[in-house]
Structure 1
Amino acid sequence: MRREQTGPANFARDPDAFETFYRRHVDAVTRFLARREADPHLVADLTAEVFLAVLDSAHTYRPARGSEIAWLYGVARNTVPAQRRRTARESRAAGRIAGRRLLDADDILRLEERIDAESPGRLALEAMADLPNGDRALLELVAVDGLSPAEAAAALGIRQGTARVRLHRARRRIQRVPGVTEPIGGTK
């Protein structure tokens, strides 16, 4: 069996398959998270959490519903708000730095460079902040994260027709935002 054909469902039986999957997608997941968070420690922690969640939920991946990256972005979209809720609880109880691992200077520099490179994506996300949640989530995945509307629909667990309607509505609304002169992103 070729490793490129080994899907997430095989991770429990084949750690090498997971390593190959991780290496293939870690940069995309890190970029996804760097567009949403500006703290390099948090981006590193969330990246690790996404891949831990992948190990736990690998059996839920269905290739017919979308690509691996669309599925990963769905996992990451759930990881970010879960982390925010957890941080809020920890902040109230023990302060903001509880549980963070220390990064060396090279790790921080690399993550700061990644975060800087993703600043246009963060600006686009800020421009979308006032959109309804469903419209914003879809537009983020298509315009900022580069998924096709079909892949974004799969990541959000909605029908493709619903995705097309939301995407059209979101693009129309975002054009009215001051400073946005044309729709963000395009259809794949």
Structure 2
Amino acid sequence: MAADVGGDPEAFGVFYRRHVEALLAYLLRRTRRPEIAADVCAETFAHVLERLDVFDPARGAARGWLFTIARNQLIDAARRGQVEDRHRRSLGIEPRDLTDRDLASIGELATHGDAVELLLAGLPDDQREALEARVVQERDYHEIAASLAVSESVVRKRVSRGLRSLRTQLGGEDR
């Protein structure tokens, strides 16, 4: 990611736009408070921007790295009782006052996330684990297979079955 983004603000903007809604939804499901989710999200992206040089794609996808940082930011905020803003301050990013509309938009993300979690919860553990690793964490099949101690074809089959089951639950065609 560091090579892709480098010093290019537009490339980082693409990364941000690609992941901000999913990250906000993830944080909102855990905090149930839009303002805290927004603060942790902002601090997470600032942290990522500061630490692009340490990202190692051999250890996993950028999305997984982003969500790991967010999880750690959330844990730290819970321990301290407040969201840290060190990374934003070091980059000179001013805090943004959230409007009621902003908070409502963030709140809407929880509805979609809750529905997805319910659908995933209905899957067998092996399918859910494979789907989360492949789709949410964007890990490749080889990496997932190694971590689960199964073959790549087993992982592909679990992902395929999980997707087929989700499609069926959503009333789509079963191909």
With the length of structure 2 as denominator, give the TM-score of the two structures: 0.58
Which among 52, 63, 85 is matched to residue 47 of structure 2? 52
Q: Aligned partners of 1:57, 1:162: CA distance in 2, in Å?
A: 34
Show the counterpart of 1:9.
3
Aligned-pair distance for 1:156? 9.8
Is the 1:125–1:140 Cα contact (8 Å) retained in structure 2? no
Show the counterpart of 2:65.
75
Summarize the Cα distance change of 1:72–1:54 in structure 2 as closer, same or farther, 3 Å threshold: farther
Q: Are positions 1:28 and 2:12 aligned together?
A: no
Which among 97, 101, 112 is matched to residue 104 of structure 1? 97
Is the 2:40–2:83 Cα contact (8 Å) retained in structure 1? no
What letter is aligned with 1:154? D
3-state DSSP of counterpart to 1:37:
helix
**Identity, % of aligned positions:** 14
Is the 1:50–1:75 Cα contact (8 Å) retained in structure 2? no
Gaps of 5+ in 2: 29-33, 86-94, 146-151
Aligned-pair distance for 1:157? 4.1
Summarize the Cα distance change of 1:137–1:79 in structure 2 as closer, same or farther, 3 Å threshold: farther
Show the counterpart of 1:41.
36
Q: Which has the higher helix share?
A: 2
Q: CA RMSD in A?
A: 4.2
The farther-off stretch of 112-121 and 20-29 is 112-121
